[in-house]
Structure 1
Amino acid sequence: MKKEDNPFSVAEAEESPGFLLWQVTSLWQREIRKALEKYDLTHSQFVLLASTMWLTRQNEPVTQILLSAHSKIDPMTTSTVLRTLQTKGLLERREHATDTRAKTVALTANGEKITRQAIKVVEQFDADFFAPLGSKTSEFNKKLRLLLQQ
């Protein structure tokens, strides 16, 4: 193949930030799935449970829209996942006190218990997974936040 026929703008696939991010994300997701299996939770379910717990501590009504924005999970998927969590008895959805179009979300006692346990497992998993970054973890997080601002 002639050099001008090469469709890649970088010399090697391993130097493509998108490809590297995809590889790391795939590895991380596969392992986080295993870590959450014992709680019968998908990663999206865990994120919405943990986000509900965190947002509840901010002392404002937790709505589906707020959860969607906080987690970066699209609103339709958020609604579907929340319905599943409600069916599992891990959270309750209620009519909002002042906005009839909105639903508020709250963990059940069992939902809070499972979420607390799963958070510990996920935090330990993350610590182990990202350990190779060592003292560069903070800088790595800063760069990820930079990408989230797009």
Structure 2
Amino acid sequence: MFLMSGTPMVPTPGYLVWRLANKWRVAVDRTLAPLNLTHAQYVLLASLYGIESAGRRPSQRELADHTGLEALYVSKLARTLEADGLIERTRDLADTRAVRLALTDQGREVVRPALGLVQELLDRLLTPLGGQDDPRAAAFVRDLTALLDAPLDLPRKDS
């Protein structure tokens, strides 16, 4: 990457995170294409699978909070996945504003192999850090988690 003057440009952390996120999203989309899933659909299904495995049936809002996806986007994805027969959406009897989500049998049949495919992809993507079990990969996860946990409304230095 170079400036117009030909001087090498040092990439910012934000630019690198953006590039990596896009690169990995494309890789996951390609990996899941044979299952007719997008990365976003996979995130919703895999998260729902994990939450259900823990014995809970989340609302769309809870799933949005868990995945980091916008609630409106989760609602749109859930409607699409419901139309495809992969999840069920039902009104919460205690809170009629809430919609609860659950995988269908077909949804479980789709998400299980998807989990395996994405796990294999993650192994390949983390090879430059020594693989998933390498201490560098663990440090990478800690650093990413710290960045994700940091509030977006950091105080300004001039205040």
- Tell me the TM-score normalized by structure 1: 0.89
CA contact (8 A) 1:14 1:20 kept: no
Instruction: Give the CA deviation at 1:12.
Output: 5.0
SS at match of 1:15: coil
In the alignment, structure 1 segments of 5+ residues that lack a partner are 1-5
| Distance (Å, rounded) in 2 between the aligned partners of 1:16 and 1:44 | 26
More helix by share: 1
- Tell me the TM-score normalized by structure 2: 0.84
Instruction: Give the CA deviation at 1:14.
Output: 3.8
Name which of 121, 130, 133 aligns with 2:126.
130
Return the structure number with greater relative CO, CA threshold 8 A, min gap 6: 1
1:112-142 deviation line (CA, Å, top 9, x unaligned): 0100010000011011111111120000000
Name which of 54, 57, 60 aligns with 1:58.
54
Q: In the alignment, which residue of structure 1 is the partner of 2:112? A: 116
| Distance (Å, rounded) in 1 between the aligned partners of 2:62 and 2:42 | 16
In the alignment, structure 2 segments of 5+ residues that lack a partner are 151-159
Amino acid in structure 1 at the alignment position of 2:29: R
| Distance (Å, rounded) in 2 between the aligned partners of 1:139 and 1:48 | 26
Identity %: 31
CA contact (8 A) 1:93 1:103 kept: yes
Q: In the alignment, which residue of structure 1 is the partner of 2:153? A: none
Matched positions, count: 141
